[in-house]
Amino acid sequence: MNAARAEPVLPDEGARLGFRLTLPAQILVLFIAVFPLLMQLYVSLTDWSPLSGLGWWNAWSMWNSFANYTDLAADARFWSALKRTAIVMIVCVPAEFLLGLALATLFADEFPGKRIFYSILLMPMMVVPAVAGYMFFMLFQSGGPVNDILSAMSGFPVTIAWLSDPTLALIAVMVADIWQWTPLMFLILLAGLVGVPEDQIKAATLLGANPWQRFVTIVLPKMKTIIIIALAIRVIENFKIFDTLYIMTGGGPGVATETISVYIYKLTTQDLIWGYVAAIALAILIVLSIVAVFAMKRMARVREVAA
Amino acid sequence: MADVVFRNVTKHYGATLAVDDASFTVNDNEFFCFFGPPLSGKSTILRLVLGLETPDTGEILIGGRPVNAVSPAERNVAMVFQNLALFPHMSARDNIRFPLVERKVAEAEIEKRVADVAAKLHIGHILHKPPAQLSGGERQRVAIARALVRDPAAYLMDDPISALDARLREETRVELKRIQRELGKTLIYVTHDQEEAMSVADRMAILENGKIRQVGAPAEIYDRPASTYVARLLGSPMMNILKSVRGAEGVEAAEGTIRIADKAAPADAVEIGLRPEDIKVRTWSGEMPEGGAGRPARVFEVEPLGGYTVVTLAAGQARLRALLRGQPDIRPDAMVAISCEPGRVHYFGQSGGALAR
Amino acid sequence: MSTIHLQNLVKKFGDFTGLKTMDLAIADGEFMALLGPSGCGKSTTMNMIAGMEEPTSGKILFGERDMAGVPMGRRGVGFVFQNYAIFTHMSVRQNLAYGPKMRGAPRAEIDRRVGAIAEMLHLTPLLDRKADRLSVNILQRVAIGRSAIMEPAIFLLDEPLSNVDAAFRAVMRTELKQLQRQFRQTMVYVTHDQLEAMTMADRIAVMDHGVLQQVGTPLEVYNNPANVFVARFIGAPGMNLLKGRPAESDRGMVVDLGPLGATPPLPVEIADAARRMRGEVFYGFRPEQVTLAEGGRGLSMPVSFVERIGARTIIHLGDGETAVKAVFDNDVGLAIGQTAVVAPAAEAVRVFDAASGLALRAG
């Protein structure tokens, strides 16, 4: 009775249909993501500038092959901006992480007024970064509230020129970043923390583990994935630090707080060497992609272990 | 005719074989039960009947009509969900009306059919109440009424009472069976509880890894299991299955503790099966009785159930369990004589299949 | 000494009383089951013993020692959770070693103890497996091993079999019971399944609505239930209970079963108690202790349903208030629609005060 049997639905057929149905969306994605990238790559191989009067598609007439990239390698200002960006990241991300984790641990338990504190804690995250920048710009004026508080505490007038001193300006910028982004860390880590199975924590308690041991042996391992996600988000975001910082210091004094983003901004708006900018942008994209791939690999491994 | 027929139906999920060459017939007006351990393919069969899955190969017929290419909505089978899924904001009447209203049936027709089904299920007097004010049994009836108001050829239930506690399950399964008797409609039922399956089913199919191992009335399967697999699935405590050897007088098992004086025992039997209730246990007098019928074994454990007592016996390296009526005065470590009537012994061959006597 | 004494234990959750004045003494090495439907207070009791919840009032003593204020990590109890709460990010070995390691035991000693416990629980070949994706019976053994390695004097188990497939439960029951024999610790076992309690426990504490109903050996609670709740809850099916009125007759005290039109005799021991009764009583007997009285005196009732379940056949007689169940062997030969005359064995009859629900006792 073979004839009576139903035609099996080929898995291929489904896949093909799926491809056809999603084709418009795929083309759109291609256009949005791939096209600008190729354009960047093209421009980065030229000396093209809007001042040249040429449209970008005619940039080939100013072809310089890899000159932008060799310039980049020798650009001391680029490397010091990169170093500064790295310093900000190395200080801010761990600080935000540790503060966020401490707060999350605190908020995992019940205490009076929890909801109010919770709302207050999340507020910085909701402030527009430019506004936050302005707030901290005001706070750190030599006649500003920070100095006022320090004066009141020490008993004699403090007039630190926060934003004019190269080191202090960098510190002020980092304080602002930590203020604004610790809440995000806190939020993500709290979500991870409440997901840790309570029974397992109880079981560990019954087996004699003290709070610190429970935290290290049960809570942290269970939060590994979410910690990696939180760190990856902040590393990538922090690398792009710009608006708050630019409003507070404009990258100064001198180039004391000039990060990669600020440097690119200046090159784009003041120096107008867009071929060179395209080269920097691509270089940074590659660096960030490596970070992202590394993070995702770690995550996949953790999930495999956890599954 | 509202029979449901599977002819050589096979269904894969990716590389996993969920239903393997299944052929069976559920007769009209039958309470038919699928029973097997988790992932044995019970729920997949239900989904195939409903049309939520399409078979890879094979044919499904409902009421004589091939339905492979028929959509779920047009198959005329109804499903009663495990949690009953009644709409809490609607009265029982509106719940039952719902499938007809959805299908834009004329109001007069709806009234008539709701009244019919409510009369059949004896719920006419509670139609105005919302589900929250109904007892568990009444809710069950309303859910069934909602499934039946469309007058389906058959209705299906997937483990409908497994969430209830033990006492309520005992009551509800009887209730379900009564309803089905009164309605006289084909019911396909899935359960993982062997007691429930034996209690409710007119006939049942035993599944293993997507394969149908035996189909028959519960008592028939219990009394004549086709294989050791089936034998172990039905009955609590489960059947004792022991390696056996052919002796001069018949068959021996458990290092000679069990001797079956059955000259007609099949020669190729390698295992025997003894139902716990078929093992006779008497106090050991210290002497071998006439004919060697009762042999000594040590009591390993005694589990009182009240009306019955489960006694675990150590016979050589083997452990067997006997189910005794009442509360006999037997203690652990006592010696007892055990025996079994030859007529009650099951014989199994090399591959676990049952052998004819 | 690992006895447990609960004295006047009360637990309130706001306005709701979870446990009303519980008194219970659990002997050293005893397997005690706390049995009852959900919400009866059994888990609350267990959590208080473990120290996860504080009693509202009353005392918990381990031996002579009052446990008030002793945190759960210091009580020396092993606890097996309903879902086992295995540390899924660790290996079986790390799970077993967890307790000793947290207490700072030396490495060599940890290895020795893990080895010993794994050997006992047949976990040796699985020691280096990740603790996720293990089957439930192995998870159960890991959970028990992880607690047992601490050599707790008291073991608490919270419905460990409720997530287990019905077919597998029997195997797990046997395994658990054997483990208890090996460890010989005091065990408190919470369950809603009367079969589990009957087959495993030395004694059962039956609870309902936060009140301890009865404590006794499985056969004591089965044979002599203290009240109607226990009579119904223990046994599968539960005890038959028919409403009636005690009456004097030339045969001694009888009970008039009203609509059933029968007046079976009451046991002589409780005749005096029944004579003093003003209201109605429940005439109770176990479905397994019923015989077919052919032509003789008994309850004549229509067979409404027949369930053959493996080794036994449950005959349902009558309907509604006067329904009776009787359990027979499979050769009983009754069919739906027939009329059967059934009589409970004389020694099996139990009588309860219908108003209070309490069993009538001799004297």
Contact yes or no for A200 and C72 at CB 8 A: no
Are A6 and B7 within 8 A, CB to CB? Answer: no
Q: Do B305 and C195 touch (CB under 8 A)?
A: yes
> Number of residue pairs across B and C with CB atoms under 8 Å?
93
Query: Could you read off the pLDDT of A142-158 as tens digits, one per residue?
Result: 878 888 888 888 888 77
Chain B residues within an 8 Å CB radius of C191: none
Across the range A176-199, mean pLDDT stands at: 91
> Residue C355: how many CB atoms within 10 A of its CB?
11
Closest CB to C72 among A206, A213, A305 = A206
Q: Which of C72, C80, C88 would best serve as a mutation to test chain A binding (most A beta carbons within 10 A)?
A: C88
A207 touches chain C (CB under 8 A): yes
> C320: left (phi > 0), else alpha (psi -120 to 50), else beta?
left
pLDDT higher than 50, residue A307: no
Largest CA distance in chain C: 81
Of the candidates B23, B34, B90, the residue with the CA atom closest to the CA atom of residue B58: B23
pLDDT of residue A7: 39
∠ at Cα A138 (A132, A143), nearest 5°? 160
Q: Do B54 and A1 touch (CB under 8 A)?
A: no
Q: Which two tokens stand for residue B18?
A: 């969920």
Q: Residues B245, B251: contact at Cβ < 8 Å?
A: yes
CA distance between the termini of chain A: 45
Q: What is the pLDDT of residue A5?
A: 38
Min distance C339 CA to chain A CA atoms (Å): 52
Residue in the structure block whose two tokens are 């709740």: C229
Lowest mean pLDDT across B243-247, B305-309, C94-98: B243-247
Nearest CA in chain C to A201: C85
pLDDT of residue B210: 92
Q: Is A202 in CB contact (< 8 Å) with chain C?
A: yes
Which amino acid is it at B203? R
B131's CB contacts (< 8 A; 6+ apart) are B86, B87, B88, B90, B92, B95, B139, B142
B56 vs A1, A4, A8: nearest CB: A8
Distance from CA of C288 to the nearest CA of B (A): 5
Which pLDDT score is estimated for B119?
86
Q: Which residues contact B80 (CB under 8 A, 6 or more apart)?
A: B143, B144, B147, B155, B156, B157, B160
Assess whether pLDDT exceeds 80 at residue A60: no
Q: How far C287 CA lies from chain B's nearest CA (Å)?
A: 8
Residue whose C-alpha is closest to residue A260's, from A241, A279, A287: A241
For β-strands B186-191 and B31-35, DSSP reports them as parallel
Least Cα distance to C164 among C138, C202, C200 occurs for: C138
Check whether A30 has a pLDDT greater than 60: yes
Pick the more confident residue, A263 or B230: B230
Tens of pLDDT along chain C (363 residues) come to: 589 999 999 999 988 999 999 999 999 999 999 999 888 999 999 999 999 999 999 999 999 999 998 988 888 899 999 888 999 999 999 999 999 999 999 999 999 999 998 988 888 999 999 888 888 878 888 998 899 898 888 999 998 887 776 667 777 788 788 878 877 889 999 999 999 999 999 999 999 999 999 999 999 999 999 999 999 999 989 999 999 999 998 888 899 998 888 888 888 888 888 888 888 999 999 999 999 887 667 899 999 999 999 899 999 999 888 899 999 998 888 999 999 999 998 889 999 999 999 999 876
User: Which range, of A87-91, B63-67, C175-179, C205-209, averages the lowest pLDDT?
Assistant: C175-179
Cα–Cα distance for residue pair B267/B162, rounded to 1 Å: 43
Nearest CB to A218: which of C50, C78, C87? Answer: C87
User: Mind listing the pLDDT tens digit for each residue in B108-166?
Assistant: 999 998 998 888 888 888 889 888 888 777 888 888 888 888 888 899 998 888 777 77
- Decide if pLDDT at B357 tops 90: no
The gap from C-alpha B269 to its chain's centroid, in whole angstroms, comes to: 27
Residue-wise pLDDT for B192-228, tens only, equals 889 999 999 999 999 999 999 999 999 999 999 999 9
Residue carrying structure tokens 């229509």? C302
Single pTM value for the model = 0.80
The pLDDT of residue B288:
63
CB C240 within 8 A of CB C252: no
Give the neighbours of chain A: at least 3 Cβ pairs within 8 Å: B, C
- CB atoms near residue A170 (< 10 Å): 19
User: A6 vs B58: CB contact, 8 Å cut-off?
Assistant: yes
Please provide the DSSP assignment of C274-299 as one string.
Answer: HHH--S-EEEEE-GGGEEE-SSSSSE
Q: Mutate one of B21, B54, B65, B70 to test the A interface: name it (highest A CB count within 10 A).
A: B54
Q: What's the rounded Cα separation, in Å, for the pair A280 and A267?
A: 10
ipTM confidence: 0.87
- pLDDT the model gives residue A3: 38
Q: Collect contacts of B116-120 with beta carbons under 8 A, ≥24 apart.
A: B117/B145, B117/B148, B117/B149, B118/B93, B118/B145, B120/B148, B120/B182, B120/B183
Q: Are A142 and A53 in contact (CB under 8 A)?
A: no
Quick one: which H or E segment has residue B204? strand B203-208
Whether residue A8 is predicted with pLDDT greater than 60 in this model: the reply is no
**How is C310-359 classified by DSSP, letter by letter?**
TTEEEEEES-GGG-EEEEEETT----TT-EEEEEE-GGG-EEEETTT-BB
CB contacts of B38 in chain C (<8 Å) are 165
Please tell me which chains touch C, using 3 or more CB pairs under 8 Å as the contact test.
Answer: A, B
Interface of C with B in 164-203 (CB under 8 A): 165-167, 170, 174, 177, 192-195, 198-200
Helix A114-126 and helix A166-194, axial crossing angle in degrees, nearest 10: 130
Q: Helix (H, G, I), strand (E, B), or coil: what is residue C304?
A: strand
Closest chain A residue by Cα to residue B68: A6
Contact of B106 with B70, CB cutoff 8 Å: no
**A281: pLDDT confidence band, cut at 50, 70 and 90?**
confident
pLDDT classification of A2: cutoffs 50, 70, 90: very low
Query: Which chain A residue is nearest to residue C85, measuring alpha carbons?
Result: A200
Q: Would you state the pLDDT for residue A236?
A: 84
Sequence-distant (≥ 6) Cβ neighbours of residue A114 within 8 angstroms: A107
Residue B102's H or E segment, with its range, is: helix B92-102
- Give the three-state DSSP class for A80: helix
Q: Can you tell me which residue has the tokens 């109001």?
A: B107
Nearest one of A9, C191, A138, C32 to B166, comparing CA atoms: C191
B59/A9 touch (CB, cutoff 8 Å), yes or no: no
Confidence of residue A302 (pLDDT cuts 50, 70, 90): low
Contacting C residues, span 102-161, partner chain B, CB-CB under 8 Å: none
Name the minimum distance, in Å, from the CA of C124 to any CA of chain A. Answer: 21
- Mean pLDDT confidence for A268-294: 83
Q: Which tokens is A218 given?
A: 């049960």
Check whether B292 has a pLDDT greater than 60. no
Mean pLDDT value of segment A271-293: 83
Question: Is residue A9 over pLDDT 50?
Answer: no
Nearest neighbour of A199 by CB, restricted to C77, C78, C83: C83
A-chain residues within 8 Å CB-CB of C146? 203, 207
Question: Of C104, C132, C129, nearest to C118 (Cα)?
Answer: C129
Contact call for residues C284 and C231 (beta carbons, < 8 A) = yes
Closest C-chain CA to A209: C102
Closest Cα in chain A, distance from residue B57 (Å): 6
CA distance C61 to chain A (A): 18
**DSSP letters spanning C150-218:** T--SEEEEESTTTTS-HHHHHHHHHHHHHHHHHH--EEEEEES-HHHHHHH-SEEEEEETTEEEEEE-H
Identify which of C50, C73, C85 has the shortest CB distance to residue A199.
C85
How far is residue A219's CA from residue A199's CA, in Å, rounded to a whole number? 12
Distance (Å) from the alpha carbon of C52 to chain A's nearest alpha carbon: 8
* Residues of B in Cβ contact (< 8 Å) with C200: 303
> According to the model, what pLDDT value does residue B56 have?
92
